[in-house]
């Protein structure tokens, strides 16, 4: 948050006994072990003719986190590091001696988030390096050419770092046709979806064509071409045609062709699958704020049309950039009626400062949003520092029979999920006849029970050990209305 912009320099300025190293000073050598147990010595890289970039940061530092998430250093490392042309080495140095391993992984009490996941270059938890370089603020970014002289370069973009190295250390060669694929979330409101993947160009030439394949449980099930013009450090996107998606399967994407030939590296990434739960049209939106509520807002939009259905925030803070205020660390409750009919909805949360949630302690024990229907949680987003925007596509869905939630009195529960021996279905009946069924994704009824004149709390058990592993739908029908939930048999 904004308070960190002032405190970072003051804190280090008071603690540092010496002035920061002047540009052109011989870089202090170091030997340090990264989080993976690999030892690194600065002079080994310099003697090998490599340029070294050092990011000296702290896990609690907001500006450090923002620069880390710009991916400038990751992009330089991917393009010119060991998996690229191998001309540059990049290090993240944790400069605060009080930092814990949990802080680096985003689970500690003194951190902006997970610094480890998605960081391909070595992380050195070594405050002595920060002391040797006599830094006076976080983050401090250094560039060291093979001549061993250190220069502070500031928080530059990847393109600007490349230009700086070319000017000061000698022109980088790079490699061609070098891209890295990145999977995404497959959001489902039905049994079909249109998987989407992206790739980043780390090569020196533009990518004008390519091929991306999709695999299900290791077997190719789809292929899609790319055509465009993606410059270095830019991103291209591909979308597969609509296909049946099995939530119980494992999906991966792979970049197999770039500009008519094999890519410099063949890269693969995982695709996660998220299925929307069915909800009634009357929902309660609970927003759990942090100590800067005036930065927080949310929207519910129709996934297909992007039409705005409901929104809330910004909430009332203390004014200006100050923490606190009437809505700080509160649960803000909104009653929402969704449009009738077959619809799929996405949830969007925004933070105007760009550092998500995480300041102060909300009595609810989390930050983010929960959507509740008739006392049952439909979606629960426990969020930390997500940057400026978090989107959950296919967060929930309604259909023409969603009003069964009101007839049932409370949303049905299905457990355990995944299940292996038995599936339990509980719900509140309202003096009516009910049909409870387990149906496969092709619509075939695998098991069912018809019960008459039910009233009050009900618990129905289905043996499922004889069913094949996979995804199924548990449905309850009464008075011509049906509601359902997904269940996985393992």
CATH code for the domain of 435: 2.60.40.1930
In a shared domain, residues 126 and 31: yes
End residue of a domain, out of 374, 398, 422: 398
In a shared domain, residues 380 and 423: no
CATH number at residue 253: 2.60.40.10
In a shared domain, residues 33 and 45: yes
In a shared domain, residues 102 and 157: yes
Handedness of CA 342, 344, 349, 350 (dihedral sign): negative
CATH number at residue 48: 3.40.30.10
In a domain, 174, yes or no: no
In a shared domain, residues 132 and 17: yes
Contact 36, 92 (CB under 8 A): no
Closest CA to 452 of 478, 425, 473, 415: 478
Q: pTM for this one?
A: 0.72
**What's the alpha-carbon Rg for the chain, to the nearest Å?**
27
Closest CA to 139 of 52, 60, 54, 64: 64
Would you give per-residue pLDDT tens digits along the chain (490 residues)?
443 433 344 344 433 445 678 999 999 999 999 999 999 999 999 999 999 999 999 999 989 988 998 999 999 999 999 999 999 999 999 999 999 999 999 888 898 888 999 999 999 999 999 999 999 999 999 999 999 999 999 999 999 999 999 999 999 999 999 999 999 888 888 888 889 999 999 999 999 999 999 999 999 999 999 999 999 999 999 999 999 998 889 999 999 999 999 999 999 999 988 888 878 788 899 999 999 999 999 999 999 899 999 999 999 999 887 889 999 999 999 999 898 788 899 999 999 988 788 778 889 888 999 998 867 788 899 888 788 899 998 899 887 655 555 555 456 889 999 999 999 999 887 777 888 999 887 778 999 999 988 888 889 999 999 999 988 889 888 765 677 788 999 8
In a shared domain, residues 125 and 93: yes
The span from the CA of 458 to the CA of 310, in Å, is 33
Q: Please report the pLDDT score of residue 408 as a whole number.
A: 54
The span from the CA of 185 to the CA of 195, in Å, is 8
Longest dimension (CA), the chain: 86
End residue of a domain, out of 364, 398, 432: 398
In a shared domain, residues 347 and 383: yes
Report DSSP state, residue 295: G
In a domain, 127, yes or no: yes
Q: CA dihedral in degrees (367, 373, 374, 377; nearest 10)?
A: -50
The span from the CA of 88 to the CA of 170, in Å, is 12
For 27, half-sphere exposure in the C-beta direction (CA atoms, 13 angstrom radius) is 27
In a shared domain, residues 122 and 158: yes
In a domain, 126, yes or no: yes
Q: Please report the pLDDT score of residue 17 as a whole number.
A: 44
The span from the CA of 457 to the CA of 310, in Å, is 32
In a shared domain, residues 191 and 221: yes
Residue pointed to by tokens 């603690």: 15
Handedness of CA 322, 103, 116, 197 (dihedral sign): negative
CATH number at residue 355: 2.60.60
Q: Please report the pLDDT score of residue 401 as a whole number.
A: 56
In a domain, 173, yes or no: no
Which tokens sit at 188?
Answer: 């489902």
In a domain, 448, yes or no: yes
In a shared domain, residues 356 and 311: yes
In a shared domain, residues 283 and 410: no
Domain count, the chain: 4
End residue of a domain, out of 349, 374, 398: 398
Q: Please report the pLDDT score of residue 11 as a whole number.
A: 45
Contact 16, 74 (CB under 8 A): no
The span from the CA of 127 to the CA of 197, in Å, is 38
From first CA to last CA, the distance across the chain in angstroms is 44
Q: At what angle do helices 72-80 and 158-168 cross, to 10 degrees?
A: 50
In a shared domain, residues 34 and 99: yes
Q: What range defines the domain where residue 46 resides?
A: 2-168
In a domain, 483, yes or no: yes
């Amino acid at each position: 948050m904004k308070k960190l912009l002032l405190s970072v320099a003051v804190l280090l300025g008071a603690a540092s006994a010496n002035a920061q190293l002047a540009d052109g000073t011989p870089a202090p050598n170091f030997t340090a072990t990264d989080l993976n147990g690999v030892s690194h010595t600065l002079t080994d890289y310099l003697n090998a003719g490599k340029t070294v970039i050092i990011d000296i940061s702290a896990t609690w530092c907001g500006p450090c986190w923002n620069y880390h998430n710009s991916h400038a250093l990751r992009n330089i490392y991917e393009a010119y590091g060991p998996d690229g042309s191998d001309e540059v080495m990049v290090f993240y140095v944790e400069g605060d001696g009080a930092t814990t391993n949990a802080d680096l992984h985003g689970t500690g009490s003194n951190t902006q988030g997970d610094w480890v996941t998605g960081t391909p270059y070595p992380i050195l938890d070594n405050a002595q390096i920060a002391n040797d370089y006599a830094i006076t603020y976080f983050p401090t970014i250094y560039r060291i050419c093979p001549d061993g002289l250190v220069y502070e370069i500031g928080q530059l973009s990847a393109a600007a770092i490349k230009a700086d190295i070319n000017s000061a250390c000698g022109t980088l060669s790079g490699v061609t046709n070098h891209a890295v694929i990145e999977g995404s979330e497959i959001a489902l409101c039905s049994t079909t979806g249109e998987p989407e993947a992206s790739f980043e160009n780390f090569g020196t030439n533009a990518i004008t064509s390519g091929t991306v394949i999709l695999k299900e449980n290791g077997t190719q099930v789809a292929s899609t071409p790319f055509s465009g013009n993606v410059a270095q450090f830019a991103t291209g996107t591909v979308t597969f045609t609509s296909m049946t998606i099995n939530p119980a399967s494992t999906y991966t994407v792979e970049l197999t062709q770039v500009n008519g030939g094999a890519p410099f590296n063949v890269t693969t990434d995982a695709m996660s699958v998220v299925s929307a739960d069915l909800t009634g049209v009357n929902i309660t939106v609970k927003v759990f704020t942090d100590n800067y509520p005036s930065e927080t807002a949310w929207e519910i939009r129709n996934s297909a049309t992007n039409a705005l259905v409901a929104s809330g925030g910004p909430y009332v803070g203390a004014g200006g950039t100050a923490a606190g205020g009437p809505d700080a660390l509160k649960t803000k409750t909104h009653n929402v009626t969704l449009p009738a009919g077959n619809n799929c909805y996405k949830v969007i949360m925004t933070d105007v400062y760009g550092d998500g949630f995480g300041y102060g302690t909300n009595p609810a024990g989390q930050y983010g949003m929960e959507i509740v229907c008739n006392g049952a949680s439909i979606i629960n987003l426990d969020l930390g520092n997500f940057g400026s925007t978090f989107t959950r596509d296919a967060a929930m869905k309604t259909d023409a029979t969603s009003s069964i939630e009101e007839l049932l009195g409370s949303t049905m529960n299905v457990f355990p999920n995944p299940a292996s021996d038995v599936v339990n279905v509980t719900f509140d009946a309202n003096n009516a006849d009910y049909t409870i069924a387990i149906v496969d994704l092709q619509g075939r009824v695998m098991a069912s029970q018809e019960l008459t004149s039910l009233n009050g709390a009900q618990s129905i058990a289905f043996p499922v050990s004889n069913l094949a592993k996979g995804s199924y739908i548990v449905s309850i029908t009464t008075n011509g209305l049906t509601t359902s939930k997904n269940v996985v048999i393992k």
